[in-house]
Structure 1
Amino acid sequence: MTCFVDTNVIIGYCFAPDMHHIPAVDFVNSKNELIASVNVIDEWDSVKKDVEEKKIDKISESREKIRKECLSEKIKNIDQIEDYFNNYVSDFLFEIINEKFDFPIKKMEILRYLRTLSHELESIPYIRYDEIQEKIEIHKREDEYPKEHEKLSEIGIHSRNNKGGDREILLDCHDCSNNTRDIIFVTTDGELNDTKKTEILEILTIEDIRELRSFN
């Protein structure tokens, strides 16, 4: 199966504290043929630092809450600290801490681990990005597709500052599918996969739009 990956799939693969990380890893390591575009890579380059900083901030917030508000020096089980996890990273922290540690555990050990995790986010996502680049074919679109561009705009699919963004990336996928390939567009974006999927598929020659988790 040939799959065109949206930027959010790459983010999910590269950043472990992401709710889509595990399905993204499974998907990228599958036998599917993977394609991205220059616009996808440009979008990754423009958002990666913001994503990194936001995830570090949220992990740090959770760490400080545990440090200040959890009065027990020994944590009996994961449920005892779950409420201190920031919603932005809660699923990830719950899962990884529950797997990594045998409870009961000293609170200080969890605090040390969360600090280490924050430091790792400054380097590991970019190592993972180098890995994913080896598995993805990068497509560069030559045609502008003005009619399709206008129709996507009419249904509310936007460009990012008139350059890149969902509209341009969908047109990249459309261009791939015009090159005699049946293409599945893979995303974590609920708007593209759900609310506007039917309209998009009526405009473009993409075979289907599927949510990342549907591959697992």
Structure 2
Amino acid sequence: MSDASFLDTGVVLGFCFRDDSHHHRCRQYLDSNDFVLFVSDHVVSEYLNREPSLAEEIADGIFNHIDRLRDSEFEGQLDSMDTSRIRQNLIAGHNVAGTTLHSFYRDEVPNYIQFDDLTRRLRDLARDIEQIAIENREDLMDQVDVWERDEEYSEIDDELAEIPWDDRRICLDAHDVAEVTDYLTELATTNPTDLVDDGYRELILEETSLENVVSLANRS
């Protein structure tokens, strides 16, 4: 049984963005296990590079929803039947902000609301997306240790050469945690293609000191 977990960048993204397809499994994993948590400086750097663009994509999804609302027949005072129809008809399909929008209508919209007030609240929601992600990141960073690796582990690097470099570097970071701390450490990932499937998990466990490689990807 592992007593520490090294989180790859996808797990951090999944935790911080509820519109991420892996969000539920990442949250559940972190909430249901009493691990010592680690990320590396590489993970933090990758996350910070992606955070603004992902927040912008989700905000754009909300603004797209607002545009669809304005093009619809809804106007004036809306009741709960109207907002239910909006949820069913105007968030259908692939909206990158779908989870946020459904939660907004379920939890924050009263039974009666003026159309203009609804669109104003939606605009405020779009503007808050990046700040929400920042707050979630800060919450997670309060729970993890940020690890900096000094060793190159060139022999292990060579043995894992078929794994793409960004993912291989994560493996080496996680291996270093296990080596230096003596924790039984597992690597949690949302990228099973390059870290779990086709024998990669077995290869990583054979060549590193990791206890396990766990996929939190939502493959449905």
TM-score by length of 2: 0.78
TM-fit CA distance, 1:211: 2.8
Match of 1:100 in 2: 108
Counterparts of 1:23-102 in structure 2, within 5 Å, are 23-29=25-31, 31-68=34-71, 70-73=72-75, 74=78, 75-77=82-84, 78-83=87-92, 86-101=94-109
Cα 1:124/1:90, change in 2 over 3 Å: closer
* Separation (CA, whole Å) in 1 of partners of 2:112 and 2:188: 40
Bigger shift: 21-30 or 115-124? Answer: 21-30
Match of 1:158 in 2: 164
Query: What percentage of residue pairs aligned between the two structures are identical?
Result: 25
SS at match of 1:50: helix
**What amino acid is aligned across from residue 164 of structure 2 in structure 1?**
H
Q: 2:186 aligns with which of 184, 187, 192?
A: 184
Query: Are the counterparts in 2 of residues 186 and 211 from structure 1 also a CA contact under 8 Å?
Result: yes
Query: Are the counterparts in 1 of residues 59 and 129 from structure 2 also a CA contact under 8 Å?
Result: yes
Match of 2:173 in 1: 172
* Separation (CA, whole Å) in 2 of partners of 1:190 and 1:60: 33
TM-fit CA distance, 1:170: 1.4
* Separation (CA, whole Å) in 1 of partners of 2:20 and 2:52: 14
Q: Which runs of 4+ in 1 moved over 6 A?
A: none
Match of 1:162 in 2: none
Query: Are the counterparts in 2 of residues 62 and 86 from structure 1 also a CA contact under 8 Å?
Result: no
Q: 2:135 aligns with which of 127, 130, 135?
A: 127
SS at match of 2:210: coil
TM-fit CA distance, 1:193: 4.0
| Structure 2, unaligned runs of 5 or more | none
Query: Are the counterparts in 2 of residues 59 and 86 from structure 1 also a CA contact under 8 Å?
Result: no
Q: CA RMSD in A?
A: 2.7
